[in-house]
Amino acid sequence: MSFYGIAGLFISSYLWCTISWNVGSGYDRFNRKVGIMFFFSWGFPGINRRIFLYFFLKDIQSIRMEAR
């Protein structure tokens, strides 16, 4: 039982850290005047915490969204 208790503490501390660091939050922006699509997201703390991607709209064929 102590194994499950310790495993539960590790999992709960991981979840509380992801909530407090806002991991996965961000936004998408479509700029039709310039023809660029931006993706911004926050990752885990470190060197690559800020994830910023951009693509040209002419290179995109389709966008698929899934609801889970």
For 4-46, what is each residue's pLDDT tens digit?
Answer: 999 999 999 999 999 999 998 999 998 889 999 999 999 888 8
Rg, the chain, Cα only: 18
Q: How far apart are CA 14 and CA 63, in angstroms?
A: 32
pLDDT at 61 > cutoff 90: no
Over the range 24-51, which residues count as b (16 or more CB within 10 Å of their CB) and which as e?
A: eeeeeeeeeeeeebeeebeeeeeeeeee
- CA 34 to mean position of chain CA atoms: 25
Using an 8 Å Cβ cutoff, are 41 and 25 in contact?
yes
Using an 8 Å Cβ cutoff, are 38 and 53 in contact?
yes
